[in-house]
Chain A
Amino acid sequence: DVKVTQSSRYLVKRTGEKVFLECVQDMDHENMFWYRQDPGLGLRLIYFSYDVKMKEKGDIPEGYSVSREKKERFSLILESASTNQTSMYLCASNDPPLGDQPQHFGDGTRLSIL
């Protein structure tokens, strides 16, 4: 079974801090994704990566950056955390081609920015 592991289930940070969310997958998937999930807004794509060191902006990339130095690891970085970034963050992975395969999700990180 595919396992996508997110490093923290709950995280509390202060405004202005630089925040790192880590995600590791164990199935050698090419594609990895970061979403945020908010009530009434569904899942929204922040960034995705289709290969090591490659990244593409999703629908809401402002205020975020990502890093993919190794195939199995995809990090989401909040450069200067703000209260409107309080949310549930979900990491996912799948194999190419993009669009054909289901995504496998981690259990999420619930991030609170105070």
Chain B
Amino acid sequence: EDQVTQSPEALRLQEGESSSLNCSYTVSGLRGLFWYRQDPGKGPEFLFTLYSAGEEKEKERLKATLTKKESFLHITAPKPEDSATYLCAVNTNAGKSTFGDGTTLTVKP
């Protein structure tokens, strides 16, 4: 059975304090790994797609990396507006998406 586990469940940072979110997965036939951001009362918003181990993507203060078993979302010098829930989803060759439970990030000024 495909499984996606995100850790930690919640993360509180001071503004400027860099950290990483983890997404570990067990799937048969990885097609792609997706990171989304979800603000309260909103639907998830797409951030990155990673397709193969070793791949990295960057956008502003966020950087996503991928290995054969996990992905990291690195947040450098976060700001309060980075506060949100970050979701990881894994797509398989069968076309199925499995989502993790998310990490809720709070950045204090």
Q: Output the nearest chain A residue to B46 by Cβ-Cβ distance.
A: A102
Question: Does B43 belong to the interface (CB within 8 Å)?
Answer: yes
Whether A107 contacts B96 in the complex (CB less than 8 A), given A40-B101, A42-B102, comes out as no
Chain B nearest CB, measured from A99 CB (Å): 4
Main secondary structure of the interface of A (DSSP, over half): loop
| Contact status B101-A41, CB under 8 Å | yes
Whether A102 contacts B34 in the complex (CB less than 8 A), given A43-B87, A107-B43, comes out as yes
The complex places the Cα of A97 from the Cα of B100 at a distance, in Å, of 22
How many of chain B's residues have a CB under 8 angstroms from any CB in A?
Answer: 25
| Contact status B49-A107, CB under 8 Å | no
Give every chain A residue within 8 A of B93 (Cβ-Cβ).
99
Question: Does B25 belong to the interface (CB within 8 Å)?
Answer: no
For residues 66 through 109 of chain A, which have their beta carbon under 8 Å from a beta carbon of chain B? 90, 92, 97-100, 102-108
Question: Does B45 belong to the interface (CB within 8 Å)?
Answer: yes
Question: Does A21 belong to the interface (CB within 8 Å)?
Answer: no
How many of chain A's residues have a CB under 8 angstroms from any CB in B?
Answer: 20
Give every chain A residue within 8 A of B45 (Cβ-Cβ).
105
Q: Output the nearest chain A residue to B90 by Cβ-Cβ distance.
A: A99
The complex places the Cα of A42 from the Cα of B4 at a distance, in Å, of 10
Give every chain B residue within 8 A of A102 (Cβ-Cβ).
34, 36, 46, 49
Give every chain B residue within 8 A of A98 (Cβ-Cβ).
91, 95-96
Chain A nearest CB, measured from B10 CB (Å): 12
Give every chain B residue within 8 A of A92 (Cβ-Cβ).
43
| Contact status A100-B42, CB under 8 Å | no
Give every chain A residue within 8 A of B101 (Cβ-Cβ).
40-42
11 pairs of residues in contact across A and B, judged by CB atoms under 8 Å: A42-B87, A42-B99, A42-B101, A43-B89, A43-B99, A99-B92, A99-B93, A100-B31, A102-B49, A103-B34, A105-B36
A interface residues with partner B (beta carbon < 8 Å): 4, 40-45, 90, 92, 97-100, 102-108
